[in-house]
């Protein structure tokens, strides 16, 4: 029995996710609140075997407030990827060999639409990355319905079951 338990431990994925905040703040663009600054996420395979992962770009960021509610930076393109209406860029899925690390940098918060930051306040910021191939169970909603559903899907435990998550980092948004 002990041998079987040890074999299972060796086979279990061991992925470390670390968040580093670099001057994250809220500014204004066209009279709307927007994020400024950078967030770096290090993802490292500490296991014994290669692992295939997928990151959901800004949707992997979760800002948890004092009440335990998660807030997300929701973006239309990423919602389309999440619901399977469009294919995500190929680099969203990647394989890490044992000991290999990958760094994701989020420092361009503009794209073609404004990514609304969470309300002003103090948050515990985390980042989550999923095993490859995970998608929420959802129909192919139209864009407006998809955007309305996106935050609740990002907040669902079902989507993030089995995710590798960073320790939280405290951020204050004004």
- pLDDT of 105-142, one tens digit each? 998 877 655 567 888 899 999 999 998 876 655 555 56
Contacts of 160 (CB under 8 A, 6+ apart): 128, 130
Domain ranges of the chain: 14-173
**How many CB atoms are located within 10 Å of the residue 153 CB?**
19
Residue 28 clears pLDDT 90, i.e. is over it: no
Q: Which two tokens stand for residue 165?
A: 């998550």
The fold for domain 14-173 equals Immunoglobulin-like (2.60.40)
DSSP string, the chain: -HHHHHHHHHHS--EEEEEEEEEEEEEEETTEEEEEEEEEEEEEE-SSS-EEEE--GGGGEEEE-TTS-EE----HHHHHHHTTSSPPPGGGEEEE-TT-EEEEEE----TTS--PPPPSEEEEEEEEEEETT---------HHHHHHHHHHHHT-HHHHTT-EEPPPEEEEE-
For the chain, give the mean pLDDT: 82
- pLDDT of 11-22, one tens digit each? 567 999 999 998
Residue 3 clears pLDDT 70, i.e. is over it: no
Q: Which pLDDT score, from 0 to 100, does residue 115 have?
A: 66
Residue 37 clears pLDDT 60, i.e. is over it: yes
Average pLDDT rounded to a whole number, residues 135-159: 74
């Amino acid at each position: 029995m002990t041998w079987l338990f040890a074999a299972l431990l060796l086979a279990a994925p061991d992925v470390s996710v670390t968040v580093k905040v670099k001057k994250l703040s809220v500014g204004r663009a066209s009279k709307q609140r927007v994020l400024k600054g950078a967030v770096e996420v290090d993802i490292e395979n500490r296991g014994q075997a290669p692992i295939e992962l997928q990151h959901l770009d800004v949707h992997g960021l979760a800002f948890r407030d004092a009440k335990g509610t998660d807030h997300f930076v929701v973006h239309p393109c990423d919602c389309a990827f999440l619901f399977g209406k469009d294919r995500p860029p190929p680099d969203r899925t990647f394989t890490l060999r044992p000991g290999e690390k990958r760094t994701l940098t989020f420092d361009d918060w503009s794209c073609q639409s404004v990514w609304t930051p969470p309300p002003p306040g103090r948050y515990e910021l985390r980042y989550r990355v999923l095993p490859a191939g995970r998608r929420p169970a959802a129909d192919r909603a139209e864009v407006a319905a998809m955007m309305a559903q996106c935050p609740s899907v990002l907040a669902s435990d079902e989507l993030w079951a089995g995710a590798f998550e960073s320790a939280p980092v405290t951020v204050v948004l004004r």
